[in-house]
Amino acid sequence: MAAKIVVSLACMVVLLGLSEAAVYKVGDSAGWTTIANVDYKLWASTKTFHIGDTVLFEYNPQFHNVMRVTHAMYRSCNTSNPISTSTTGNDSVTLTNHGHHFFFCGVPGHCMAGQKLDLNVIHPVSSTPLSDPPISSSSSPSTTTIPAAGVPGPSPSHAASLPSVVAAVVSLLVSLVFAKFAS
């Protein structure tokens, strides 16, 4: 029983990853830049990022780069110790864990000018493929109720009600048979 549940949960996670993997170009047609005055906070707020999705930073590497940083460094535009730096001009980042991911351009002044991005990847079990209403896509990671994975499974109430359902079906069949013989 438990093994079955684990397997079906694992399948669900895999399906989620496969069905929802998307590629988002940061800043859409404007790309990763300071010229167009893109509001990257607004851009990110219009998307729902899932594990397995990819964000693509496209920019002229002569003028910009991409630094992945901590929240503290993001807030202060501190470029001294980035987690990683990309400089190809066409950098894709696959999102492999949930929570916030912080990026900015490390060229002096660019982060301060707004070339910074905070992506929030929602928790994988907060959305299910079939049973959830669309509202869930705009929900915050606060929906961490794990049983919301939609498994119609072995909660104590279900387990207890199963024998009574069987009993009801059996008694219905018995009464039908008796009714047939009696007529």
Binding site for Cu ion (CB under 5 A): 64, 105, 107, 110, 115
Give backbone dihedrals phi and psi of 132, rounded to 5 degrees, phi first.
Answer: -80, 140
Shortest Å distance, C-beta 51 to ligand NAG:
18
Interface with ligand NAG (CB under 6 A), residue from 90, 94, 161, 171:
90
Establish if 62 lies at the interface with ligand NAG (CB under 6 A). Answer: no
Size, binding site for ligand NAG by CB under 6 A: 7
What is the rounded CA–CA span in Å between residue 34 and residue 64? 9
Q: Does 80 bind ligand NAG (CB under 6 A)?
A: yes
**Which single residue brings its beta carbon nearest to Cu ion?**
105
Query: Which of Cu ion, ligand NAG, none does 64 bind, CB closer than 5 to 8 A by kind?
Result: Cu ion
Closest contact distance (angstroms) between CB of 76 and ligand NAG is: 5
Angstrom distance (rounded) from CA 132 to CA 16: 13
Contact between residue 34 and residue 116 where contact means Cβ atoms under 8 Å apart: no
Among 29, 46, 62, 81, binds ligand NAG (CB under 6 A): 81
Q: How far is the CB of 3 from Cu ion (least distance, A)?
A: 51
Q: Does the footprint of ligand NAG cover residue 37 (CB under 6 A)? A: no
**Interface residue with ligand NAG, options 78, 120, 136, 143 (CB under 6 A):** 78
Spatial separation of the C-alpha atoms in residues 64 and 59, rounded to whole Å: 7
Angle at Cα 42 formed by Cα 38 and Cα 46, nearest 5°?
125
What does the binding site for ligand NAG look like in residue numbers (CB under 6 A)? 56, 76, 78, 80-81, 90, 92
